[in-house]
Structure 1
Amino acid sequence: MQTDITGRLLICCPDRPGIVARVSQFLFTYGANILDASQHSTDPKEGVFFMRMVFHLENTAVTIAELEKQFQETVATPLQMDWKINYTNHRKKMAIMVSRYDHCLMELLWRWRSGELAVDIPLVISNHEDLRQLTKVFGIPFHYLPVDADNKAEKEKQAIQLIQDANADFIVLARYMQILSPSFVSTFPGKIINIHHSFLPAFAGANPYKNAYTRGVKLIGATAHYVTDDLDEGPIIDQDVARVSHRHAVNDLVMLGRDIERQVLIRGVVAHVEDRVIIHGNKTIVF
């Protein structure tokens, strides 16, 4: 029996009057204290309602399983809800995949070690050996899976097995410079976060800084997004930009961009960890 529960409830359903009241009344019935509530409705034509509610139950006689069963029967089914509750006593496990660039990996590891990123990191997977020693300093297992055209499918299967064996809740591609197969992506739907070194949808794919320089843009940026089968087109979690000019060479853009990448990635990861993101089609609602 669970005696102290803090849950984060995420809801997506057809919009109609009384949704907040129904959810609040249900939680009140079980003695819950609502700590935070945010909601968003799309335009009337689309008519979709989204909500995030954080609640606390103390010294309750109800189990989590019973609470969720009753919510499904009395609230979710009548209101046609897609919903989930994540509980703060479950510390999410984050797997990291990386290639040779270390700046995003270092940002994640530093935030984790300082306690600012409330996750466990059971493993780092890389297709290069370059960052093994750095990862070892943080006491995290490092797995080297070199990928080429002939062994890509085999190495992806090994990576999937490692991630599943570690019971990882989600994966962060911290500048992992390989395109994941549809088979890999479908194994972890909505659970793979990528940082792309461009303000998408501009300059998707490889060499975005060089392409931005060639195009003569005045803004460069970075995008944290969920991975789908369509390259760099998944639901966007966070973005940011910096101003540049004709005085900046490609290397200048790369250096400026790395700072943006680190900040955007950590904001996207934290939003996911704190259950503030609802995926709706190819968009996100980020509370």
Structure 2
Amino acid sequence: MLQSKKQDRARVLISCADQPGIVSAVSNFLYNYNANIVQSDQYSTDPEGGMFFMRIEFDLEDFDHNFPLIQERFSEVGDRFDMSWRIESERKIKRMAIFVSKEDHCLLELLWKWRSGELQVDIPAIISNHPDLQATVESYGVPFYHIPVNKGNKHDAEEDAIELLKNLDIDFIVLARYMQILSPQFVSHFTHKIINIHHSFLPAFIGANPYKKAFNRGVKLIGATAHYVTDDLDEGPIIEQEVLRVNHRYSIADLKIGGRNVEKIALARAVEWHNDDKVLVHGNKTIVFS
């Protein structure tokens, strides 16, 4: 269901060691600024010695005056409990860049959701190492940037992309079947801000030709995994996975068609959840308040 942005709504996301008094302290802090909590989600890995995660949505009176104060003064609570925290305004429209190569199914799913208003982001750039999808992208009114990549220019190509992304003030990046491995130097600029889709259930069938490998193994389920990119190839924190039941009648071509469908579904969900600040990263796992 399409939901419009609420101009007086904000979110606070918290992670810290589990300890008594956290919920009370956060609630009382918000109450002191006349904030009305409209949704609260929390999770504890272990009440004794574990980690605590929390996401609160709240409406705020006199937003323009009170929101900056809350952002500035929440550190009083954060420091007391040694929290990692951030506060986001729902007024902020995040700026998303998409990287793509030649396959368009994940890209088109995101563009359709964006144009229909289901995915409320700005898309200042779609970047590709091939020119094939330029006309498709520009038909949506989105700027297309062709940055070729080969063995000899990979470093320079990444530097060009980083400069472009920083100039465009990009908040996060989506790899919509971008068939290049990003260097650790690139990833370090956008920690937990790059979302990738992998065409199988990780860690199964890593590498090239996953559907051929799945076919040869005689699998009964195929899937797709959306995850944050880290220096470890295809091993970053998993945000979402989608599955399709198959049987012996499926050919490799059938598996690829089904696989493309689960890929675009899993990626779109992960992007929506990240955009709505519903994902907290802890080590190599995620807590998703979906």
**TM-score, normalised on structure 2?**
0.95
In terms of mean alpha carbon deviation, does 209-218 or 109-118 score higher? Answer: 209-218
State the Cα distance separating 1:222 from its structure 2 match: 0.3
State the Cα distance separating 1:61 from its structure 2 match: 7.8
For 1:43, the equivalent position in structure 2 comes to 46
Secondary structure of the structure 2 residue equivalent to 1:123? strand
CA contact (8 A) 1:8 1:53 kept: yes
CA contact (8 A) 1:30 1:60 kept: no
In terms of mean alpha carbon deviation, does 200-209 or 161-170 score higher? Answer: 200-209
Alignment counterpart, residue 233 of structure 1, candidates 232, 235, 240: 235
State the Cα distance separating 1:59 from its structure 2 match: 1.8
In terms of mean alpha carbon deviation, does 4-13 or 102-111 score higher? Answer: 4-13
For 1:52, the equivalent position in structure 2 comes to 55
CA contact (8 A) 1:224 1:265 kept: yes
Report percent identity of matched pairs: 58
- Describe how 1:100-249 pairs up with structure 2 within 5 A: 100-249=102-251
Secondary structure of the structure 1 residue equivalent to 2:122? coil
For 1:25, the equivalent position in structure 2 comes to 28
- Describe how 1:69-108 pairs up with structure 2 within 5 A: 69-73=72-76, 75-108=77-110
- 2:255 paired with 1:265: no
Separation of aligned partners in 1, 2:63 and 2:116:
34
For 2:4, the equivalent position in structure 1 comes to none
Partner AA of 1:89 in structure 2: R
CA contact (8 A) 1:205 1:231 kept: no
Distance 1:61 1:220, change over 3 A: closer
CA contact (8 A) 1:205 1:232 kept: no
C-alpha RMSD of matched pairs (Å): 1.3
Separation of aligned partners in 2, 1:131 and 1:50:
41
Separation of aligned partners in 2, 1:254 and 1:121:
28
CA contact (8 A) 1:15 1:41 kept: yes
**TM-score, normalised on structure 1?**
0.96
For 1:9, the equivalent position in structure 2 comes to 12
Partner AA of 2:32 in structure 1: T
Separation of aligned partners in 2, 1:241 and 1:61:
44
Secondary structure of the structure 1 residue equivalent to 2:233? coil
Separation of aligned partners in 2, 1:33 and 1:64:
13
State the Cα distance separating 1:44 from its structure 2 match: 3.9
Secondary structure of the structure 2 residue equivalent to 1:77? helix
Output one character per residue of 1:60-111: Cα deviation in whole Å (capped at 9) or x when no partner: 68443432232102x1101110000111111001000000000000000000
Runs of at least 5 residues in structure 2 that lack an aligned partner in the other structure = 1-6
Separation of aligned partners in 2, 1:207 and 1:28:
55
Partner AA of 1:32 in structure 2: A
In terms of mean alpha carbon deviation, does 243-252 or 184-193 score higher? Answer: 243-252
State the Cα distance separating 1:211 from its structure 2 match: 1.3
CA contact (8 A) 2:60 2:67 kept: no
Separation of aligned partners in 1, 2:13 and 2:68:
17
Partner AA of 2:35 in structure 1: A
Separation of aligned partners in 1, 2:241 and 2:57:
25
Separation of aligned partners in 1, 2:82 and 2:23:
14
